[in-house]
């Protein structure tokens, strides 16, 4: 399903979860399928490793659960309000 993760089942579940978040907030996911695949694929890797949706765009390397942000991050609504999308370019206004 994704070139960024081998965890196809988890990727599909996460994508549905993110679509639900977008829908509830009146947003859409990025229509650029390459970007969407990358962000969701890397987030899937974080989810499988830690059990949480750590944002791959704002994470430390290596991941630091004590300071790294879970998606959607606390700033996402401000970012979308300012520029029409979140920093990761995952969530967009319609």
SS3 content of the chain, % helix, strand, coil (to 5): 45, 10, 45
DSSP-assigned letter for residue 86: -
- For residue 93, the tally of other CB atoms under 10 A from its CB is 12
Cis (ω within 30 of 0) for the bond into 62?
yes
Average pLDDT in the chain: 96
Tell whether pTM > 0.85. Answer: yes
Domain 8-93: CATH superfamily, name plus number: Ferredoxin thioredoxin reductase catalytic beta subunit (3.90.460.10)
Q: How far is CA 81 from CA 5, 60, 78, 84, 90, in A?
A: 31, 25, 5, 6, 14
* Angle in degrees, 0-180, between the axes of helices 33-50 and 8-24, rounded to the nearest 10: 110
pLDDT > 80? residue 18: yes
Predicted confidence band of residue 15 (pLDDT cuts 50, 70, 90)? very high
Tens of pLDDT along 37-79? 999 999 999 999 999 999 999 999 999 999 999 999 999 999 9
């Amino acid at each position: 399903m994704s070139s960024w993760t081998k965890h196809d089942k988890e990727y599909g579940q996460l994508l549905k979860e993110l679509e639900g978040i977008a829908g509830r907030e009146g947003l859409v996911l990025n229509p650029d399928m390459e970007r969407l695949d990358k962000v969701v694929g890397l987030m899937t890797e974080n989810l499988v490793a830690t059990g949480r949706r750590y944002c791959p765009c704002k994470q430390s390397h290596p991941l630091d659960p004590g300071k790294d942000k879970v998606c959607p991050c606390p700033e996402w609504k401000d970012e979308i309000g300012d520029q029409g999308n979140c920093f990761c370019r995952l969530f967009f206004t319609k």
